[in-house]
Amino acid sequence: MSSAPLYSGKVRDIYAVGDDRLAMVTSDRISAFDVVMAESIPDKGRVLTAMTAFWSGQLASVAPSHLLSTDLADLPEDLQEPGWEGRVMLCHRAEMLPIECIVRGYLTGSAWKEYRSSGTMHGTELPAGLLESAQLPEPVFTPSTKAEVGDHDENISFAAAVDLVGAEVAAAARDISLELYRRGAEWAAERGILIADTKFELGMVDGELTVCDEVLTPDSSRFWPADQWTPGSTPPSFDKQPVRDHLDGLDWDKAPPPPSLPPEVVDATSARYIEGYERISGRRFADWPGAGT
């Protein structure tokens, strides 16, 4: 057995590898309405890992990535847990920026709520008359704070991000995030998936601003089926919709404990994650290490 993780998040367990590297292990846990479900979604962690690996290659020219390997054999022997095959990322350990680098291409979620009540997005005025889920005139960098465990992230202005990380780093983080989003969203849209918004996490590795964490996955982003996007309403989620539809049909107050998910909902959700990966990457998930095990 490996030693205790440095950190256990809602979805990932993180282990130190020496002083300057990390092993990030992505579980099959799923949350909905901010509550982690009791059931896991088979292969979800491998899909998120495969997708991050795909994008890291695809977008390598934008900025350096923290990702070193997804090969279990590259880990120290005491961390080579067979169950981690395909779900582990060996990375540079970064000093993370204390902001979340969100990019929004469409008006939804907390940005739509703010716009509806004040006509602004993260404090900046937007054109009048935009509909829910409308495509924004251009993608916007809309950072947030990184909340401590249990708290919610708070949307902030670009000026507030400058106060947190300095003008130079904030501008570089914005430029990298916008470029990653523009390229990724264009690529996905050509394959029938709209990436409405997404969250990048950047950090410093050897003094260089580096793309960390997961990249353009359905967990860090809102994926919408392009053919079901109609401004004026919120499209279904490409990946989590079977879970949401099931939960919406129940009399549940959205507080833990979660209701149980029937096997057909679990299977449908797993299939959606896999389909999203295959459409975007053009690769077969069956070829990914550990797939289906």
Ligand X SMILES: Nc1ncnc2c1ncn2[C@@H]1O[C@H](COP(=O)(O)OP(=O)(O)O)[C@@H](O)[C@H]1O
In three-state secondary structure terms, 43 is: coil
- Residue 213 found at the interface with ligand X (CB under 6 A): yes
Nearer to ligand X, 126 or 212 (CB): 212
- Minimum distance, C-beta of residue 201 to ligand X, in the bound complex (Å): 5
Of 79, 91, 111, 261, which one interacts with ligand X (CB under 6 A)?
91
- Residue 136 found at the interface with ligand X (CB under 6 A): no
Stretch that binds ligand X, among 7-15, 42-50, 77-85, 238-246 (CB under 6 A): 7-15
- Whether the CB-CB separation of 107 and 132 falls below 8 Å is answered with yes
Nearer to ligand X, 67 or 126 (CB): 67
Measured distance CA(293)–CA(291) in Å, rounded: 6
Residues 95-134 that bind ligand X (CB under 6 A): 96
Task: Give the per-residue contact string, 50-89, with ligand X (x = CB under 6 A; - = no).
Answer: ----------------x-----------------------
In three-state secondary structure terms, 149 is: coil
- Residue 47 found at the interface with ligand X (CB under 6 A): no
Structure tokens at 153: 């992230």
- Residue 152 found at the interface with ligand X (CB under 6 A): no
Give me the residue whose beta carbon is nearest to ligand X: 9
Interior/surface letters 255-277, b for 16+ CB within 10 angstroms, e for the rest:
eeebeebeeebbebbbebbbebb
- Minimum distance, C-beta of residue 286 to ligand X, in the bound complex (Å): 26
- Count the helix, strand and coil residues of the chain and give each as a percent rounded to the nearest 5: 35, 25, 40
In three-state secondary structure terms, 203 is: strand
- Whether the CB-CB separation of 69 and 49 falls below 8 Å is answered with no
Of 30, 53, 94, 247, which one interacts with ligand X (CB under 6 A)?
94
